Amino acid sequence: SAPLRTHAAARGKFIGTALATGPLSNETSYRDLAATEFSQVTAENAMKWESTEPSQGQFTFSGADAVVNFATQNNQQVHGHTLVWHSQTPGWVQGLGATAMRAAMQNHISQVVGRYANNPAVVSWDVVNEVFDDNGGMRTSFWYNTLGQSYIADAFRAARAADPNARLCINDYNVEGVNAKSTAMYNLVSSLRQQGVPVDCVGLQGHLAIQYGFPGDLQQNLQRFADLGVQVRITELDVRMQTPRDATKDATQATYYRNVVNACNAVTACAGVTIWGFTDKYSWVPDTFPGQGAALIYNESYQQKPSYTAVHDALAGG
């Protein structure tokens, strides 16, 4: 049967995956599936600040370029992830005073976005990532604590200046359903756009877990953002479970994957779905949630799981 990207393209959607540079450099099975099945890629870590500017003014793009070159070879788009985040950002940034921190942020955005501004593969960026806490307040990150909320608008303006053609996204987790956090995001995006701040896109990460239930109002939530005039997308989908897998858990997981793809299919402004990896051999989940995992669509031996079939059939179905 045709790969995922063929069916997604027929709908005018992308189907994406996150790429880890280790296996990308040395595992044929990993490279082959990444190339064959997906139409868009996100660097899992290689475009983050600690990777691209580990010391002030010293930019290193080896990992980022590896991802972009792979995508170019395979006729894939690249979604840039991520410019301004509280995690995986070097200590030198975190220790700056306000004026210097704002300048460092603007320079980082200018250099990283600017490197790929004329590269047709790189089409979009997560400009800010995870700016909210789970109650709908602003996360009290070093960004917020040093600069206040204005860093968000400043980051989007810097990204627009560095690449006027890139689609600029705000991205977060636990915003899949209608809840306090997603409503805070909705209100911020609405307010920024009213002020002319160039926010084009809202990313819902989609780190789900079968034991916590499916956000049944996902489609409604996507639609309310779409009604603000922004593109929406699922950016980091995975569905973890308590390991080991069994047939019942796999079936529940497959339903979650199907539901996410169906929700995106149903919303015109939803550009596509990116899965946060594809093989259970490489996933952030077991490191972060001990005892959980098996969150992706291929097992550790690159065999398709029921979740693969669910994504495939949801993309292919009428």
Site for ligand G3I (CB under 6 A): which residue of 44, 53, 200, 280?
44
Please state, as a whole number, how many other Cβ atoms lie within 10 Å of the Cβ of residue 44: 23
Q: Which of 87/165 has CB closer to ligand G3I?
A: 87
Is the distance from CB of 314 to CB of 265 less than 8 angstroms? yes
| The one catalytic residue among 27, 176, 236, 300 | 236
Torsional sign, CA 289, 82, 62, 14: positive
- List, in sequence order, every residue forming a beta bridge with 231; answer none if it has no partner: 201
Q: Which of 11/289 has CB closer to ligand G3I?
A: 289
Q: At what angle do helices 218-226 and 180-194 cross, to 10 degrees?
A: 10
* Amino acid (one-letter) located at 177: G
Q: Is 53 in the site for ligand G3I (CB under 6 A)?
A: no
Q: Is 236 in the site for ligand G3I (CB under 6 A)?
A: yes
Task: Please give the structure tokens belonging to residue 230.
Answer: 């922004």
Q: Output the smallest distance, CB 212 to ligand G3I, in A.
A: 16
Q: Output the smallest distance, CB 170 to ligand G3I, in A.
A: 13
Distance, CA of 128 to CA of 149 (rounded, Å): 12
Site for ligand G3I (CB under 6 A): which residue of 17, 39, 45, 52?
45
44 assigned to active site: no
Q: Which of 44/200 has CB closer to ligand G3I?
A: 44
Q: Output the smallest distance, CB 44 to ligand G3I, in A.
A: 5
Q: Which of 85/186 has CB closer to ligand G3I?
A: 85
Residue closest to ligand G3I when measured from CB atoms: 284
> Site size for ligand G3I, by CB under 6 A?
9
Site for ligand G3I (CB under 6 A): which residue of 40, 205, 221, 231?
205
Site residues for ligand G3I, 162-181, by CB under 6 A, read: 173
Task: Please give the structure tokens belonging to residue 296.
Answer: 């992706």
DSSP letters along 111-173, please? HHHHHHTT-TTEEEEEEEE--B-TTSSBP--HHHHHHTTHHHHHHHHHHHHH-TTSEEEEEES
DSSP letters along 122-136, please? EEEEEEEE--B-TTS
Q: Which of 14/173 has CB closer to ligand G3I?
A: 173
| Residues known to be catalytic | 236
Chain residues binding ligand G3I by CB under 6 A are: 44-45, 87-88, 129, 173, 205, 236, 284
